Amino acid sequence: MIPALLLFMISLMMFGLSLRLVYGALRDPATNRVLERLGAAQPALGQKSVSVAWLDRAFLQAGLGRPSERIGLWLAMWAGVALLAGLIGGWVFLFALLVLPPLLLKLFVSWRYQRRVKRMVEQLPQLLDSCVRSLKSGRTLADAVLHAIESSSDPLKSSISRVSRNVQLGVSLPEAVQDFAELYEREEFRMFALGLKVNYRYGGNASELLENLIVLIRERDQGARRLRAMTGETRITALVLALLPLLVGGYFMLTNPTYLINMWHDSAGQYALLTAFIMQAIGCLALWRMVRSV
């Protein structure tokens, strides 16, 4: 059994190394020029698949770059580790390593995005206030926005710098800000883009428009904080109900560890524990949806 596992691990490492070499060769400039000449007469390739585009979008929202550049290598490593765990520990470990890594990655990316975009929304009034000061000093609206972007701080600066890049490439400022707002999917950014679009199309006092937008964003933030305080009891209740079964299981493991171990070694006990785990996951999901709807 051990020699077979060693042989499997060696073959898996060689497979990953071969993927790495192929990836490096495809990124070589000389290789790219050769491929361009060979494919000059070929029809254009289609766009990325929806799943890869969605993955890139989620990682960009969280500020983690584009994972599609090395997705083949990561998938190969994940499949190899899952198969190895299945050979060593059985179908339970195989199922756990097939389900848990994507779930944990999804939770981490979502948490990172929520944390990052919240900080960006908090910094947006400062950026708009800088735009207002620049407009009152005699700058145009586009120059005021671009100057405010350069003087802002992270994470807003690193995220909204895509607006400056798009403007340098010839995209109009309202369209560039609209693209930024659609990427991060927040109403505050959409209102900013809409205000710029209205001002570019119909004119008007841009500084007054931005000042009203600052007031609106701050009022929305105050209302959200007030609502969060009012629903604090509901959220704490949901958290206690979600953690209570886990705490009870941990208490059993500390006081009588052989109880759950004996259950796991029994076929009926395995079904009972798996059923409890599935019901716990469904209950946590239901509580999470209920809290989000408040």
- Tens of pLDDT, residue by residue over 250-292, are 888 888 878 777 887 888 888 888 888 888 788 777 777 776 6
**82 assigned to some structural domain:** yes
**40 assigned to some structural domain:** no
Q: What is the pLDDT of residue 15?
A: 54
Q: What is the pLDDT of residue 7?
A: 47
More confident residue, 16 or 161: 161
176 and 275 housed in the same domain: no
DSSP classification of residue 204: -
The pLDDT of residue 52 is above 50? yes
68 and 144 housed in the same domain: no
Is the C-alpha dihedral spanning 126, 129, 134, 137 positive or negative? negative
Report percent pLDDT > 70 for the chain: 79
- For the chain, state the CA radius of gyration: 26
256 and 219 housed in the same domain: no
215 and 239 housed in the same domain: no
82 and 126 housed in the same domain: no
216 and 146 housed in the same domain: yes
**53 assigned to some structural domain:** yes
Residue 82: partners with Cβ closer than 8 Å, 6 or more residues away? 94, 97, 98
277 and 197 housed in the same domain: no
**96 assigned to some structural domain:** no
> Which structural domain, as residue segments, surrounds residue 71?
2-32+48-89
The crossing angle, in degrees rounded to 10, of helices 91-136 and 206-230 is: 140
85 and 6 housed in the same domain: yes
**Would you call the peptide bond into 174 cis, given omega within 30 degrees of 0 as the criterion?**
no
70 and 174 housed in the same domain: no
Structure tokens, 109? 């990316």
Helices (H), the chain: 2-26, 29-38, 50-61, 71-89, 91-136, 141-151, 156-168, 173-184, 187-202, 206-230, 232-255, 257-265, 267-292
pLDDT band at 38 (very low <50, low <70, confident <90, very high): very low
Tally of domains within the chain = 3
Q: What is the mean pLDDT of residues 121-125?
A: 90
152 and 202 housed in the same domain: yes
Q: What is the mean pLDDT of residues 198-212?
A: 86
In the numeric block, the tokens 């500020």 are attached to 63
pLDDT in tens, 167-184: 888 888 889 999 999 888
The pLDDT of residue 130 is above 70? yes
Specify whether the CB–CB gap between 158 and 169 falls below 8 A: no
**190 assigned to some structural domain:** yes
207 and 235 housed in the same domain: no
Q: For the whole model, what pTM was predicted?
A: 0.63
Residue 217: partners with Cβ closer than 8 Å, 6 or more residues away? 121, 124, 125, 128, 188, 191
